[in-house]
């Protein structure tokens, strides 16, 4: 597990950002045959970007029986369909020396021609449900997020805002000592306002290796929810993030968390006593395990009906677009 925010650009290559995907590509798309090239621009001083013209695939590069082109295209439609200018072409589906592993080459670009076209390769595992890309494993298929969605629906038990229904469930994995998690709360508040039919859940994911006071904060959060419910939790969370600088030391953390509990309308002594119980630690560890089982490797991370997307470091418009696309994929949009 690599709990580092900078890794999000890599992680997002399939689930979030085709731009990050392109940046990781190591090959430039081969030049298209001359007859397929666009005519030269009339004004060399201000050329108009041309849409990509991909070379015709060579049938000799299709040696593996699976996955099919249709399956690959369905996967990328699910992953990138929210970007209407994104285009791609399956260039090769090849056997590898390892039985059941297929090597896939994709050419990608955008219709506006503003981004340089590039090539990307990944491997489909024998189960047909996962791929290896950029040294990590990601879900694959026409409905790549279905398994994660089912896991979240069953196990995500944190405090929530919005609907009791889990039809559209947005689950945020966050760490109270993580600066990017603090920044992300503005986006989370906007999601609450714009998607009133969504169930928006907070799951503790303290990254103790880099944030020594994060687990204590998570334990307080569990107890605030137990004693005061979801409303008290979100009041506590607002205060805890606001006072995040106080979590840098053990003594400061105690003062900050007791103050946040008071602002949530609870007795800090009762919350503190609850936080010290073994059962409370177990509840936090259960949430951490869920994050690890979902391959959440950094915070803040949002699961949108199982689709992972960083909620910090991206514009709200981009975040909203992905939520709306996932709604459509799951048959929930009007």
* CA dihedral of 283, 285, 207, 307, whole degrees rounded to 10: -90
Q: Are residues 70 and 11 in the same domain?
A: yes
List pLDDT tens digits, range 200-238: 999 999 999 999 999 999 999 999 999 999 999 999 999
Query: Which range, of 11-20, 62-71, 151-160, averages the lowest pLDDT?
Result: 11-20
Q: Looking at the structure, do residues 282 and 236 belong to the same domain, yes or no?
A: yes
Band of residue 52 on the pLDDT scale cut at 50, 70, 90: confident
- What predicted TM-score, i.e. pTM, was given to this entire model? 0.84
What tens digit of pLDDT does each residue of 59-94 get? Answer: 999 999 999 999 999 999 999 999 999 999 999 999
Cβ distance 143 to 152 under 8 Å? no
User: 115 falls in which pLDDT band (50, 70, 90)?
Assistant: confident
**Alpha-carbon distance 191 to 194, whole Å?**
5
Q: How many domains does the chain have?
A: 2
Paired sense of beta strands 169-174 and 199-204, if any: parallel
Q: Tell me: the pLDDT tens digits for 296-319?
A: 999 999 999 999 999 888 899 999
Residue 277 lies in a domain: yes
| One domain, residues 151 and 138 | no
Of 89, 120, 142, which residue sits at a domain end? Answer: 142
C-alpha angle 239-241-181 in degrees, rounded to nearest 5: 150
From residue 37, give the alpha-carbon distance in Å to each of 29, 47, 111, 304.
13, 15, 15, 40
Tell me what pLDDT residue 11 has: 36
Indicate whether 322 and 253 sit together in one domain: yes
Determine phi and psi for 113, rounding to 5 degrees. 75, 10
Q: How many CB atoms lie within 10 A of CB 185?
A: 20
- Cβ-contact 113, 52 below 8 angstroms: yes
**Residues 209 and 110 reside in one and the same domain:** no
- 156 with 131, same domain? no
| Boundary (domain end) residue, out of 113, 142, 171 | 142
Parent domain of 167? 147-329
Q: 328 or 1: whose pLDDT is higher?
A: 328
Per residue in 19-42, pLDDT (tens digit) is 334 333 333 333 333 444 445 555
- Answer with the residue of higher pLDDT: 23 or 97: 97
Distance separating alpha carbons of residues 162 and 171, to the nearest angstrom? 12
Q: Is 334 a member of any domain? A: no
Q: Is residue 31 part of a domain?
A: yes
The answer on 200 and 288 residing in a single domain is yes
CA distance to 37, 123, 315, per residue, from 86 (Å): 19, 21, 18
Give the pLDDT of residue 116.
84
Position 134 scores a pLDDT of 85
Torsion over CA: 219, 221, 222, 228 (sign) = positive
């Amino acid at each position: 597990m690599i709990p580092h925010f900078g890794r999000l650009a890599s992680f997002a290559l399939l689930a979030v950002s085709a731009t990050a995907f392109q940046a990781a590509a190591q090959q430039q798309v081969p030049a298209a045959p001359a007859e397929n090239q666009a005519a030269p621009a009339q004004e060399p001083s201000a050329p108009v970007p041309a849409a990509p013209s991909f070379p015709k695939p060579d049938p000799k590069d299709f040696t593996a029986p699976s996955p099919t082109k249709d399956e690959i295209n369905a996967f990328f439609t699910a992953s990138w369909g929210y970007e209407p200018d994104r285009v791609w072409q399956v260039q090769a589906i090849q056997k590898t020396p390892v039985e059941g592993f297929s090597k896939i080459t994709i050419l990608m670009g955008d219709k506006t021609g503003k981004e340089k076209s590039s090539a990307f390769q990944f491997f489909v595992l024998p189960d047909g449900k996962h791929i290896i890309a950029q040294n990590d494993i990601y879900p694959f298929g026409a409905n790549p997020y279905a398994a994660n969605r089912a896991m979240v629906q069953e196990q995500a038990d944190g405090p929530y805002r919005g609907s009791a229904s889990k039809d559209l469930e947005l689950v945020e994995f966050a760490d109270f000592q993580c600066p990017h998690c603090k920044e992300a709360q503005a986006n989370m508040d906007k999601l609450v306002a714009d998607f009133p039919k969504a169930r928006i859940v907070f799951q503790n994911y303290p990254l103790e290796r880099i944030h020594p006071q994060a687990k204590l904060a998570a334990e307080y959060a569990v107890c605030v929810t137990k004693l005061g419910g979801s409303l008290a939790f979100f009041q506590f969370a607002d205060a805890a993030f606001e006072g995040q600088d106080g979590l840098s030391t053990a003594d400061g953390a105690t003062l900050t968390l007791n103050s946040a509990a008071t602002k949530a309308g609870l007795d800090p002594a009762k919350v503190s006593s609850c936080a010290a119980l073994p059962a409370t630690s177990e509840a936090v560890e259960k949430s951490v395990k869920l994050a690890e089982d979902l391959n959440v490797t950094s915070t803040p991370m949002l699961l949108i009906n199982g689709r992972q997307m960083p909620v910090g470091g991206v514009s709200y418009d981009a975040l909203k677009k992905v939520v709306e696309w996932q709604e459509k994929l799951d048959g929930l949009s009007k």
